[in-house]
Amino acid sequence: MTVLKSQARVLACMAGLSVAAVAYAVPGDPAPKPYPNTASFGRDVDPGTPWFDECLRVEKVAPPPMPALPASCKAYDYYDNVDLATVSNATWGGVRACAAAANDNDVLAMLHANGQGVPRNLDLATHYACRAGGAYMEVQSRIEHLQELRKSPSRKLYDQCDDATSGYMMSYCAGFAERRSSNVSRDWFGRLRRDLPKQQREAFDQLVATGLAFAGARPDEMDNHGSIAGARATGAETSERERLREHVRAFEQGNFKLASPQQLPIADADLNRRYRALMATPSSDRAHPDNIAGETVTKADVRMAQRLWLKYRDAWVRFAALRYPAVSADALKASLTQWRTQQLNEIGPGR
């Protein structure tokens, strides 16, 4: 660190102020942002913290030449539509151009941290993360996350949402995950559907329709107490949609593991036992007698989701019989039933 920066820190600490090495403008926002971006912290920043040091270290890191910038775009919307399993460098170039045009530092940080369309550059990723801003703990966690990747490279992709700490950011990230899941699933299902014979295509359409209907009911089985209730509900729907896509992908690749057919009677009995227990659980809220214990989940919510799940399970068995005839229907039913029981176990008392 230079002497001037050290002196600036001392003066800032004495005055109880934060250090802003440089201010930069964000398109559409007349207020310049400090670097690191502490504008949303709502508190003074100790400029002696390691993460702040790290931001100052990479302050002057220069980005590589930018591609031609589009007139206007929303970088996160572009990022939503990317299937990470099949994306090309050309597509990543478009995402990067969009992020640069929109000054979306979060997306730029992820692209450079993960080497998506550009050589991996953790210093540049850190620079963008320092510019992105957010809640104090989120910014600190992201910088520390990137430092850890430098020490111990991980195959897991860096994502700003991994370090979300505020209820707002968790809800935002859950919505982002939901949009990406919806877009990627739609495209993937569309590609598979085009190659299916007519009878299989009809069964596949029914599988997708019932699967998405059940996924749409899952948020109602989430208790909405707490600041992250919205994120929890959205995440439940996203996870169910992702599960359908990943399971179909696994069957297409012959890479799946099912319960034994002999486990079906036991799985059915366990499911019925848990379902009856939930339906018999009294509410602790006199104003809402249909609630399950002290949760906002109602018996009607679970009943509706269960009916949709039964249609989903039957659609799975029908499609599998046509598309994967070697798969045992009882083994598939047992596996689906075990998973549904696990979901019911997460509702109400005894979870």
The verdict on residue 150 lying in a domain is yes
Where is pLDDT greater, at 100 or 126?
126
Q: How many residues does the chain have?
A: 351
Q: Is the pLDDT of residue 333 over 90?
A: yes
Mark whether 144 and 219 lie in a shared domain: no
Query: Which residues have a Cβ under 8 Å from the Cβ of 107 and sit 6 or more positions away?
Result: 75, 76, 79, 95, 96, 98, 99
pLDDT digits (tens, 9 = 90+) for 153-189: 776 788 877 777 666 666 666 666 666 667 667 778 8
pLDDT at 339 (0 to 100): 96
Q: What is the pLDDT of residue 71?
A: 64
Question: Which pair of tokens denotes residue 41?
Answer: 């912290």
317 near 327, Cβ under 8 Å? no
Average pLDDT, the chain: 82
Residue recorded with tokens 């935002």: 172
With a cut of 80, say whether residue 245 has pLDDT above it: yes
Share of the chain above pLDDT 70, in %: 79
Pair 349, 280: CB distance under 8 Å: no
Give the residue from 119, 144, 163 where a domain finishes. 163
Q: In this structure, are 246 and 104 located in the same domain?
A: no
Residues 104, 212: one domain?
no
Same domain, 153 and 279: no
Q: Are residues 17 and 83 part of one domain?
A: yes
In a domain, 171, yes or no: no
Average pLDDT over residues 277-303: 94
What are the tens digits of pLDDT across the range 37-72?
988 887 778 888 999 999 999 999 988 777 676 766
CB 324 within 8 A of CB 257: no
Same domain, 237 and 311: yes
- 20 and 141 assigned to the same domain: yes
Does this model's pTM top 0.75? no
* 126 and 216 part of one domain: no
**Amino acid type, 45:** V
Structural domain containing residue 123: 3-163
23 has pLDDT over 50: no
Contact 126, 146 (CB under 8 A): yes
Q: Count the domains in the chain.
A: 2
Residues 19 and 148 in one domain: yes
Q: How confident is the model at residue 21 (pLDDT cuts 50, 70, 90)?
A: very low
* 156 and 33 both lie in a single domain: yes
Instruction: Verify that 140 and 207 share a domain, yes or no.
Output: no
